[in-house]
Chain A
Amino acid sequence: DTEVTQTPKHLVMGMTNKKSLKCEQHMGHRAMYWYKQKAKKPPELMFVYSYEKLSINESVPSRFSPECPNSSLLNLHLHALQPEDSALYLCASSQFQGLNTEAFFGQGTRLTVV
């Protein structure tokens, strides 16, 4: 199983709402990532979790709050977002050990902030 599952696929939220994006992998990967992708642009790294600990935060605004409840799950909690936060949010996981360095991506959550 080389699948990363993201839910929901689409999300529309108001600027005062609180919502969460979920990501799950069962490949035993040690690292999990959140990327943000705007239209016609490459993905931009937001957060990296390694062994369930937050290892990299790319100066992401506090209205985005990541959480890693266990080694298979990764959440992204959203609160008081702005319209410019509308984007495709991609979750990925990787073993990043030896030659197994590739990241596997989920299908993404298309977020629209209104």
Chain B
Amino acid sequence: EAQVTQNPRYLITVTGKKLTVTCSQNMNHEYMSWYRQDPGLGLRQIYYSMNVEVTDKGDVPEGYKVSRKEKRNFPLILESPSPNQTSLYFCASSTIGGTSSSGANVLTFGAGSRLTVL
């Protein structure tokens, strides 16, 4: 089954304790991205990657790191989590390009990771 898998789905941690949220896709997609969803603010893009070793900042990258060493994986790293990073996080992937576009195409989302930082 074509899917984007995120782990963990739920996590409660404390301020300053480094954590990694993993994201893996089995569709050979070039494009992968991370979002956070907060009430009243909608989804905001954190980082995205057009391919292996190519990453770019989204709208809200502060406090986060990513890496893209393999095409299928795009982990989100919180080096020193703070309470304002408590949120619902989504990973998504897509193909790139086509007959009428050079951009990312239909996004496939993971089920989400709910993170609470105390």
Are A and B subunits of one complex? no
On B, residues with C-beta under 8 Å from A are none
